[in-house]
Structure 1
Amino acid sequence: MRGAEKLEMETEIPAARSRKHQVILILGVLLILVFIIVVTLMSFLFIYYKSFQKEMLQMKTDSDVKHNLTDRTIAYYSSDNQWIMELLGKVAEDLQNMKNSSDPLCSEGWRRYGLSCYYFSSSSQPWNVSKKDCEDMEAHLIVINSEGEMNFLCSIAKGKFLWIGLTDQDGTWTWVDGTPYDILPKFWGKGQPDDYKGHGYGGGEDCAALRPTNDWNDGHCSRKYPYVCEKKILF
């Protein structure tokens, strides 16, 4: 009997180990599937967002529709864009939770909002130098796509002037990443932009900045302000 019991126990132990390995394998496969689903969903939403942005650009450039781009259309874009960015932000948070804490979605020194990472400079530079500094970090000066992103920027700015990625140095207000100016929400302060020429720097004011009143002002590009860089999250 003792020999039979010993043989039975020796048979049960490998079986238990086998079941444990199967459970671990199944859990691992499920985790991989969840990760794939999350990444796929994020990619789908991002493609939708870029497609919608492209359609709005086509409306802006199409001669038959160009003059019918109303405030209502722009407001619709702003609302839809903000909803997408907030949803993508939640998906990014879920993705962050699934990744190892030592492998963040943003590089050290950068802060995340939605699907972008932001760097707030500690130094003050003219607008053109700020633009170059961002490009050297494989980023660009911040492009404000929604009210939510504007609120995020204001919450971090804490009453400082900050250069943003908007300029009319070529005669037309343009975002540095090519996003159409007309289809994005605008947060100019009262009476701005005014292209003021009495500042003593020579010429007008061709570069946009966030100011302490949490709205935009056009300033002379040679003024030295801190700046904000933006780039996509790390996948």
Structure 2
Amino acid sequence: MAIKSALLLCLSFALLATPSQYCSECSLPWQSFRGFCYLLVDVPKSFWEAEGYCKSLSRGRRDAHLVSVTDDQEEDFIEEYTKPSGQNDIRIGFVLNHTTDDYYWVDGITSRYTDWDAAEPTRNGEDCAVLKLSTHWNDRGCDNPYPFICKIPGKYTK
């Protein structure tokens, strides 16, 4: 009942002003963008450790994973969100499937968006992607520790 009340309150404010001014789909310190919540974790972890950490943040039917990047706007948001941290390389949830020799998103989305640097991916044992701020993506070793971003659907999304 409390969630329905909060949603109704949020929607009623939306009629009067920008909804993000009065309610958020995300609790602090998560940041909201297009119906999803994002959390920068400054503690470097390997790819699978980072994915495990993100999954531990899942709530009910809202599964959290390493961030997937679906288009230029989402990548721009991620870059702006992470800039103040001073991190240059951010681990994202894009990893090589050795069976198909193709990259996939660990959250299961089927976005075909990529932003590889010109000579990437090299696929020479570097099977996991990192977002290099203000440039493009690079493939790096999955065991190499990097800061990372978790992504979860917002509270008021289906």
Could you say which TM-score interval applies, normalised by the shorter chain? 0.7 to 0.9
Q: CA deviation at 1:169?
A: 4.0
Alignment RMSD? 2.4
Specify the alignment match of 2:74 in structure 1. Answer: 149
Structure 1: state its 5+ residue gaps: 1-31, 39-90, 197-203
CA distance in structure 2 between the aligned counterparts of 1:121 and 1:141, rounded to whole angstroms? 10
What is the aligned partner in structure 2 of residue 95 from structure 1?
19
Aligned residue pairs, count: 137
Q: CA deviation at 1:206?
A: 0.7
SS in 1 for 2:80: helix
Aligned match of 2:149: 228
5+ residue gaps, structure 2, are: 1-7, 59-63
| 1:164-203 deviation line (CA, Å, top 9, x unaligned) | 01001433211112222xx53210001100123xxxxxxx
> Quick one: which of 210, 213, 232 aligns to 2:131?
210
Equivalent residue, structure 2, for 1:25: none
102, 106, 114: which one aligns with 1:186 = 114
Relative to total residues, which structure has the larger helix share, 1 or 2?
Answer: 1
- Name the SS for the 1:122 alignment partner: strand
The answer to whether the aligner puts 1:166 opposite 2:94 as a matched pair is yes
Decide whether the 8 Å contact of 1:35 with 1:98 is kept in 2.
no
User: Deviation at 1:122?
Assistant: 1.7
Distance 1:125 1:34, change over 3 A: closer
> Displacement, 1:33?
10
Change (3 A) 1:213 1:150: same
Secondary structure of the 1:130 match is helix
For residue 212 of structure 1, report the CA deviation from its aligned partner. 3.7
Give the whole-Å Cα distance in 1 for the aligned partners of 2:97 and 2:121.
Answer: 13
Q: 1:177 aligns with which of 92, 107, 126?
A: 107
Q: Which protein is bigger by CA-based radius of gyration?
A: 1
Give distance in 2, aligned partners of 1:176 and 1:186.
Answer: 14
- Identify the residue that residue 24 of structure 1 maps to in structure 2: none
**Equivalent in 77, 97, 114 of residue 34 of structure 2:** 114
Aligned-residue sequence identity (percent) comes to 25
Normalised by the length of structure 2, the TM-score is 0.76
> How far apart are residue 97 of structure 1 and its match?
4.1
* 1:35 aligned partner: 11
> Contact 1:142/1:228 (CA < 8 Å) preserved in 2?
yes
Counterpart of 1:179, as a letter, is I
